[in-house]
């Protein structure tokens, strides 16, 4: 029986050519796998037929939009996943769900190898191959661009020579990856980090300098997950899609960052994630009123480590799974409503409401009704400062009193 290779298939030039290129280079049959994570464009049926027309012996297509939103975007939201405090893991969280379907297809069609279209200098090769080898340890991985010397020029030549049903002349100046959680743009003139992005870089967002009237949205959360917009029940996918439209119209979610890649390269990236960034603003604010202080402080450390693991392609790792358990436990009381104003590139919290809030008006108020016992404060301060005061007394005993002559009030 002829060996089979499963190929992550986008329907574009490079992966269409890779079907025949891999078959000729390895002598194997190619099974094309297309996974819809909300990237838009052509229908899955069109992509499936193109794969077959380009020489694939089988074409596996999956509408994974709901799966991606529920099982990958929502955990990212609960972890406030922002790499380098800016990047909402747009591509990083799509690779594990695609990898899951690649492994499923390999098992279904009896393939021994999985192929992807990544280069040797990016993060995605790691994300794909670590995920694939974790879910299917028996599988091998190859990358035609990296391992079989498939360049764009060779791809165009091969497509024209073999009369493949794919456009070969138009070349976007950028490398673009997009899904429902956001859009990533790199290469071209953006590689000169002095250059500002031009209008044609953006697609998910309008120019925030010329916004329409402010848009106020109320987001209802249940245990860290949005369940309603303006009182109307929505699924995670519907939530992201609607906020992509509404926040995108206000220019929210534009990110320009020089990013530390896993392979050690600094790379300039432009991201658009209007829905993701609006949701994170709301989620963080709801956590502010529902998480206990020490719990919230420690969760920030866990969130950062979780984000680094996911960025580095460790979605299915034991540690990431352990951190998921902690994060889910913290979300037990993260329920309530956040009112956001979307306007001019900003998602601004206007109101907060939760039955599980730790905010106590009577403790917080300075007006009538104040229930805080202020007589407790002096003793608290005395004990709280005991450690520092003891250390200071030691300094005075050994070195004498400090010179405070320069600390006088200017006249």
249-278 burial string, b = 16+ CB within 10 Å, else e? bbbbbbbeeebeebeeeebbbbbbbbbbbb
Provide the edge-to-edge strand list for the sheet that holds 346-353.
232-233, 225-229, 215-222, 336-343, 346-353
Nearest Cα neighbor of 270 from 359, 372, 202, 338 is 202
**pLDDT mean over 249-255:** 98
How many angstroms separate the CA atoms of 121 and 33, rounded? 23
Q: Is the model's pLDDT at 409 over the cut of 70? A: no
Q: What is the pLDDT of residue 143?
A: 93
Binding annotation for ATP: 8-16, 117
Q: What is the pLDDT of residue 312?
A: 97
How many angstroms separate the CA atoms of 289 and 272, rounded? 28
How much is the pTM? Answer: 0.93
Domains of the chain: 4-171 (3.40.50.620), 176-291+334-353 (3.90.1260.10)
The angle that helices 13-26 and 44-53 make with each other, rounded to 10 degrees, is 40
How many angstroms separate the CA atoms of 153 and 14, rounded? 10
**pLDDT mean over 151-180:** 82
Please pick, among 112, 147, 175, 256, the residue that the annotation labels catalytic: 175
Residue 89 CB contacts under 8 Å (≥ 6 apart), including other chains? 76, 81, 82, 83, 181, 307, 310, 311
Helix (H/G/I), strand (E/B), else coil: 229 = strand
DSSP letters of 114-163? EE----SSSSHHHHHHHHHHHH-TT-EEE-HHHHS---HHHHHHHHHHTT
Alpha carbons within 13 angstroms on the beta-carbon side of residue 185 total 23
Please pick, among 28, 36, 124, 346, the residue that the annotation labels catalytic: 124
**pLDDT mean over 361-380:** 86
Binding annotation for L-citrulline: 87, 123, 127, 175, 259, 271
**pLDDT mean over 29-38:** 97
Question: Judging by DSSP bridges, how do beta strands 336-343 and 346-353 pair with one another?
Answer: antiparallel
The answer to whether residue 175 is catalytic is yes
Tell me the average pLDDT of the chain. Answer: 94
**Confidence class for position 222, pLDDT limits 50, 70, 90:** very high
Which DSSP category does 199 fall into?
Answer: G
How many angstroms separate the CA atoms of 368 and 370, rounded? 6
Rounded to 5 degrees, what angle do the CA atoms 128, 80, 184 make? 50
pLDDT in tens, 295-312: 999 999 999 999 999 999
Binding annotation for L-aspartate: 119, 123-124
Q: Is the model's pLDDT at 339 over the cut of 90? A: yes
DSSP letters of 286-343? HHHHHS-HHHHHHHHHHHHHHHHHHHTT-TTSHHHHHHHHHHHHHGGG--EEEEEEEE
Q: What is the pLDDT of residue 168?
A: 64
The answer to whether residue 367 is catalytic is no
Q: What is the pLDDT of residue 153?
A: 84
**pLDDT mean over 127-154:** 91
Greater confidence (370 vs 51) lies with 51
Beta bridge partner(s), residue 348:
341
Say if CB 269 and CB 175 are below 8 A apart.
no
Nearest Cα neighbor of 278 from 252, 309, 255 is 252
Q: What is the pLDDT of residue 148?
A: 78
Express as a percent the part of the chain with pLDDT over 90: 81
Q: How far is CA 41 from CA 171, 217, 242, in A?
A: 16, 28, 18
Binding annotation: 8-16, 87, 117, 119, 123-124, 127, 175, 259, 271
Please pick, among 48, 95, 183, 246, the residue that the annotation labels catalytic: 95
Q: What is the pLDDT of residue 149?
A: 78
Say if CB 1 and CB 123 are below 8 A apart.
no
The answer to whether residue 230 is catalytic is no
Provide the edge-to-edge strand list for the sheet that holds 113-115.
58-63, 29-36, 4-8, 113-115, 140-142
Q: What is the pLDDT of residue 365?
A: 81
Please pick, among 4, 14, 254, 346, the residue that the annotation labels catalytic: 14
How many angstroms separate the CA atoms of 28 and 80, rounded? 43
């Amino acid at each position: 029986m002829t060996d089979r290779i499963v190929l992550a298939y986008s329907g574009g030039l490079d992966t269409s050519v890779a079907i025949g290129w891999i078959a000729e280079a390895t002598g194997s049959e190619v099974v094309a796998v297309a996974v819809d994570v909300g990237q838009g464009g052509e229908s899955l049926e069109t992509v499936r037929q193109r794969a077959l027309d380009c020489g694939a012996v089988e074409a596996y297509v999956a509408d994974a939009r709901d799966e991606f939103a529920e099982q990958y975007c929502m955990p990212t939201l609960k972890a406030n996943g922002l790499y380098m405090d800016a990047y909402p893991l747009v591509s990083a969280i799509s690779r594990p769900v695609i990898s899951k379907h690649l492994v499923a297809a390999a098992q279904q069609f009896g393939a021994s190898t999985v192929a992807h279209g990544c280069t040797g200098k990016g993060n995605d090769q790691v994300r794909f191959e670590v995920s694939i080898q974790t879910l299917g340890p028996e599988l091998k991985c190859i990358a035609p661009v990296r391992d079989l010397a498939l360049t764009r020029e060779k791809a165009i030549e091969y497509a024209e020579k073999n009369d493949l049903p794919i456009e070969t002349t138009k070349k976007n100046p950028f490398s673009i990856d997009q899904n429902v959680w956001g859009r990533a743009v790199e290469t071209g003139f953006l590689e000169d980090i002095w250059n500002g992005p031009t209008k044609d870089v953006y697609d998910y967002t309008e120019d925030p300098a010329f916004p329409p009237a402010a848009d106020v949205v109320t987001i209802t959360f249940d245990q860290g997950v949005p369940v309603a917009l303006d009182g109307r029940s929505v699924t995670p996918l519907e939530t992201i899609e609607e906020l992509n439209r509404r926040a995108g119209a206000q220019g929210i979610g534009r990110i320009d960052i020089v990013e530390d890649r896993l392979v050690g390269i600094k790379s300039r990236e432009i991201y658009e994630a209007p829905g993701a960034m609006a949701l994170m603003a709301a989620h963080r604010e709801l956590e502010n009123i529902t998480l206990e202080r020490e719990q919230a402080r420690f969760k920030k450390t866990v969130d950062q480590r979780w984000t680094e693991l996911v960025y580095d392609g460790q979605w299915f790792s034991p540690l990431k799974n352990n951190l998921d358990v902690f994060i889910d436990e913290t979300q037990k009381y993260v329920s309530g409503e956040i009112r956001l104003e979307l306007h001019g590139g900003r998602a601004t919290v206007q109101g907060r409401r939760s039955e599980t809030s730790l905010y106590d008006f009577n403790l917080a108020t300075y007006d009538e009704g104040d229930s805080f016992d202020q007589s407790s404060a002096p003793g608290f301060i005395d004990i709280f400062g005991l450690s520092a005061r003891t250390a200071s007394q030691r300094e005075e005993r050994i070195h004498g009193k400090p010179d405070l002559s320069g600390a006088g009030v200017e006249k």
